[in-house]
Structure 1
């Protein structure tokens, strides 16, 4: 964990981009007529039936038709949007491409919204922007791409955006401001930003305005995929471009920026069961916002690699109160980056998360609770590089989540829990009765090969990690060694017969690992054949070698010489006493 002081921390980046300008221009226009009353004024301005009706749109239609049957559809969605004014009205759009800006100005009721739907997901393609300014609206099943701004803009209450594919927009995929009771669920948001020299997100929520203070979650972002969003921001020091592309961003729910006087937004917000991967920017960013629960999301391989904004963390939380990060999986692109970044927060909680790669940066000015159930381990996802983010058998994420913070269902709608506990991340995994549970044993270091002389003592040892209990069996040359069932194995003293290849097999409830072989060699001890001169030459007491021959000294001062240590001849008799030492080549006998 890295703790920094407030002056070390960058303030949240808040670029005033072209797309933010468009949003504020629309917000200004809405301020001329309070948007809570906008629906009523529009109803008075346009004569329309006051009963629920079904309207149809198709590419072979005509806006002069009445649009009331599939046989006589309108040509444009915008035409149907002008007539669908009564609560409960439904506009069904047939497969095809519709190049238009769609403005949804009419309002339904809380119990009978006006619905715009593509019955087959993605079959009705809108090339342009969808603006939702009426309340109690449901938009479902469309494919939306807009090369000239955001995909969907929301500035109203009680809107549901469901099961759409929003992609290749030059701005945000979905952008909302001045709103309440918004549900964004089941959408796919990808490749937005489109190198537009602004800061774009898959989902961007900015400055909501509370319709009331009723309990429960007012804003829900659930079950979405936000991936490969990317844009270029030309604000790095020296004018060097750097890339961002945030998966999900919540900004200024306190309404303190850019002259807002709407007041702090305190109703609860929920971010759950989302898959966020491959974005060039951060996964989830929360700033100047309060009372938010972030749970059961899986984020994989996000974050930019070559600019300083990476230091703000894959999960980033700044200037907030009461933000709860629980039951999430986060795999950061590189270990050199910050996995989480927490600064200037009060009452924040991080618990029951699996975090792998990157650092945890919690500033000294945050009153943050880092719980005891965070796992800094590889979550062992099934095949993340092919977008299969389910925990594989044996993953630490299975059955280890916090039940008190659990979502009732997972990304696919499967009820939680299935096993003995709730799973961490977006997926609830069905237990495999044949699969081991827990963490499989691993070896960070291996036993070491060595060469020793006989009589020495050698100990081979390992320090594995993995779910207990762990058992050990050492083997030599493939044969198990009786009694060698501990993490360390000692040979004392070692003999020539002990040479061989040693391995240890470690077994736990989640699997087995075998060490690399440690090859133990026992060196051969040098041997000498003692040779004595013939008895007639006396007893050998000392030997020296030099000038190509051996000399020996013995009883009576006799000195004998030998070219090979076998055949000896008398070289000299230098004393009548016994000589007990000799230096031959230096002529000192």
Structure 2
């Protein structure tokens, strides 16, 4: 079929002439096209909005770099496997492949039993955006999404992933390869604004499970999963899950079976960081575990967890940084640095009203404690979980300067005063904007 005669075309070139000069906008991609999927469509149609395809598989087969595939309202029972259906690649993030629920419409994916919605292991740089779906495994599908074998550059966003029998979202180095320690593992995936919940059948199943490096998880919720809320981790290898980032997420009520688990785990690599996250209702809030170096937790909030707010240790951790976190009323230790934790720096944290020690040390080596606060910090409203500091808080201006931490949980620049505040929030003094009253009988000259 003629790619442009019956498809929704992008504007090829836009030129705007303004008074006093010309503003020329760059041309949009001449090859970009839009295809549509509807339950009432047919795979023998042309794929336009008025003549839509019926299956997602058919639409994917029509895509080229820069194209968009819209899936319209309805429930679809499909699974996209890269070894069965070639999945085209975008060129870069300026010219990606986009597969999206049509704006304003609810699209539910029920992957068949034993499958996932997208299961990609072609080892290619995809530049693929998957946007706006509700992926419901109905306790039949294994995962919502699985990417492996050096598949790179996939962005999953604005989606819900629930009721998988295993982990909702999983990224592995390779499936069945002989030497995983030498396999490529820099995958650069992005997982943004997701609601990942009620996945798994055992403690080994998680909201997300990522073995690889250079991935971002942000602005998402992970809750009521059987194992951990999420983990950057490999079961056997070190030096593989490197430089991952988790930020602006909420991890809560995971490990519904009541087993030892964490809201979030940093593990098995070098330089991963988690900041501006909240964790509550888990066994442990945030964990740094297993063969990890230079992991960093800062500007996080951990409260009402079953035992630990923050746990560091177990199977060799080295040079971890626990900084500017707020840890409150956990049913055990606030911050615990345990066995085989080496050279951990614990600085600028508020840890208060935990059932056990606010800061506990056990069989660790070389832990440095500095500028932590374990008395009443005068939170604004801890009962409502408002952990901002009152203006008279004794934690204000009492922290040390930490170069990497330039702002707080809210994005407020640090410091606001003579030094950094302790905890996840920097207190901002309210300026007096009310002018003084005019003195009585005042006469201007």
Q: 1:340 to 1:58 in 2, by over 3 A?
A: farther
| Kept after mapping to 1: 8 A contact 2:218/2:249 | yes
Measure how far apart 1:322 and its partner are: 1.0
Q: 1:247 to 1:116 in 2, by over 3 A?
A: same
2:262 to 230, 243, 246: 246
2:52 to 67, 72, 94: 72
Unpaired segments ≥5 residues, structure 2: 1-30, 61-79, 138-143, 174-186, 433-445
2:344 aligned with 1:348: yes
Measure how far apart 1:393 and its partner are: 3.9
Matches within 5 A, 1:479-518: none
Residue of structure 1 equivalent to 2:372: 374
Measure how far apart 1:203 and its partner are: 0.7
2:413 to 413, 416, 438: 416
1:161 to 191, 207, 218: 191
Higher mean C-alpha deviation, range 157-166 or range 52-61: 52-61
Q: 1:369 to 1:384 in 2, by over 3 A?
A: same
Residue of structure 1 equivalent to 2:207: 173
Structure (1 or 2) with the greater helix fraction: 1
2:147 to 132, 138, 144: 132
| Kept after mapping to 2: 8 A contact 1:52/1:86 | no
* Deviation by residue 1:465-491 (Cα, 9 ceiling, x = unmatched): xxxxxxxxxxxxxxxxxxxxxxxxxxx
Q: 1:353 to 1:127 in 2, by over 3 A?
A: same
* Deviation by residue 1:318-363 (Cα, 9 ceiling, x = unmatched): 32111111111111324x5463233222221111111112313223
* Deviation by residue 1:60-105 (Cα, 9 ceiling, x = unmatched): 6666666576973664489646544233211122332221221242
Unpaired segments ≥5 residues, structure 1: 1-50, 119-123, 194-199, 233-241, 254-264, 305-309, 435-589
2:282 aligned with 1:274: no
Matches within 5 A, 1:37-436: 72=52, 75-76=55-56, 80=60, 82=85, 83-87=87-91, 88-94=96-102, 95-96=105-106, 97-100=108-111, 101-105=116-120, 109=125, 113-118=127-132, 124-128=133-137, 129-133=144-148, 134-155=151-172, 157-170=187-200, 171-177=205-211, 179-193=212-226, 200-207=227-234, 218-232=243-257, 243-251=259-267, 253=268, 265-266=269-270, 268-304=271-307, 314-318=310-314, 319-334=316-331, 337=333, 339-356=335-352, 357=354, 358-359=356-357, 360-371=359-370, 373-412=371-410, 414-417=411-414, 419-420=416-417, 421-433=419-431
Measure how far apart 1:108 and its partner are: 6.3
| Kept after mapping to 2: 8 A contact 1:108/1:114 | no
- Using the alignment, how far apart are the partners of 1:374 and 1:327 within structure 2? 9
Residue of structure 2 equivalent to 1:44: none
Larger Rg: 1
Q: How many residues align?
A: 335
Higher mean C-alpha deviation, range 74-83 or range 167-176: 74-83
Q: Secondary structure at the match of 1:163?
A: strand
* Deviation by residue 1:384-439 (Cα, 9 ceiling, x = unmatched): 55454434443445554443244345445x342372244444445533347xxxxx
* Deviation by residue 1:303-324 (Cα, 9 ceiling, x = unmatched): 24xxxxx6xx743333211111
- Using the alignment, how far apart are the partners of 1:67 and 1:397 within structure 2? 61
- Using the alignment, how far apart are the partners of 1:117 and 1:270 within structure 2? 25
Measure how far apart 1:150 and its partner are: 1.1
Measure how far apart 1:377 and its partner are: 2.3
The alignment yields a C-alpha RMSD, in angstroms, of 3.4
TM-score by length of 2: 0.65
Q: 1:395 to 1:317 in 2, by over 3 A?
A: farther
Residue of structure 1 equivalent to 2:27: none
Higher mean C-alpha deviation, range 395-404 or range 270-279: 395-404
Measure how far apart 1:289 and its partner are: 1.2
| Kept after mapping to 2: 8 A contact 1:151/1:166 | yes
